[in-house]
Amino acid sequence: MVTRRHFLGSVAALGTNVVVHPGAVALQDGEPSRTAQSAALHRAAHQILDVPHVLDDALALTIIGPERRRLLEASLALRQQAGSRAMRAFIVARSRYAEDELALAVPQGTRQYIVLGAGLDTFAYRNPHGESVRVLEVDHPSTQAWKRKQLAEQGIAVPSSLGFVAVDFEKDLLAYRLQQAGFDSTAPAFVSWLGVTMYLGREAVMQTLQLVARTCARGSRIVFDFSLPDEMLPVAQKARRDERARKVASLGEPWISHFAPGPLADDLLAMGFRTAELAGAPELNERYFSSRADGLRVMGSSARIVNASV
């Protein structure tokens, strides 16, 4: 099985003449990585457990399929534990944040939305902008084929506004595949890149961001998340993150990169981004969780979201 690092780490070759990434391996079973499935289950659990919804995504319960939904419903008590609630809050908040920022960009002329490493993301199938916004889902051909099979089996309609961009990084360059799918590099685009950077080496992250800065038109934006280095975390927060890190590492998908916010913002500006706004737990809680009666909120300070404009 390909890991999230193996597939998404291949992004290091996107804008260069190098096609094969040294970590790339062939997918064996065609399913998304376990961490991608875990994020989908958090989004699905949110639809059942949390009222009101931060991310209103009924399709999250459908796309996982009936068997995974049964397993999810059998484990709801575990998902009400503090750590699971905090992780769920961050996962739904980052998706909501990206979708809200896209909604702000549309009236300004953005008509292209690129979802890098789409996994089980459902935005394209509940796109409130309809035909006015073209969505391009980027994923490995095997993973994408599995998702399309899921869509068909669960009766989720594929809108004409969606384009599937299958990229095998052993053979393909993303820029070329996007162009084939109708991406217009002369028009503004919005890119979401969620739950990825911590699985990549620093070079791969930087080269991906440089690709966006170099190939997307002025007015484009990217929203992505990252984790902070150990030395910036309080002792208790570091211990909790270490526990989660051990779990994902046991799945063969270790967290390997962390970034300090100030230097990362400086790097973004140096590579050509005009602005780089950051949001952490305080900003997300104020924006999405301040009036809740159930206490759901983003906890700790180990992760940030970046909203950068070209």
Give me the residue spans of the domains in the chain: 4-40+81-309
pLDDT, residue 26, reads 36
Q: What is the CA radius of gyration of the chain?
A: 18
Task: Please check whether residue 269 is in contact with residue 276, taking contact to mean a CB–CB distance below 8 angstroms.
Answer: yes
pLDDT, residue 10, reads 42
The listed CATH number (3.40.50.970, 3.20.20.80, 3.80.10.10, 3.40.50.150) that belongs to domain 4-40+81-309: 3.40.50.150
Express the helix, strand and coil content of the chain in percent, nearest 5 each: 50, 15, 40
Q: Of 196, 176, 30, 188, which is closest to residue 112 (Cα–Cα)?
A: 188
Give pLDDT tens digits for 124-145: 999 999 999 999 999 888 889 9
Residue 309 three-state SS:
strand
Q: And the tokens for 294?
A: 């159930």
Q: And the tokens for 38?
A: 């875990």
Torsion of CA 49, 54, 58, 64, to 10 degrees: -70
Residue ranges, the chain, pLDDT below 70 = 1-30, 169-170
Task: Please check whether residue 257 is in contact with residue 289, taking contact to mean a CB–CB distance below 8 angstroms.
Answer: no
* pTM of the complete model: 0.89
pLDDT, residue 27, reads 38
Q: What CA–CA distances, in Å, run from 292 to 66, 195, 207, 259, 287?
A: 30, 25, 39, 31, 11
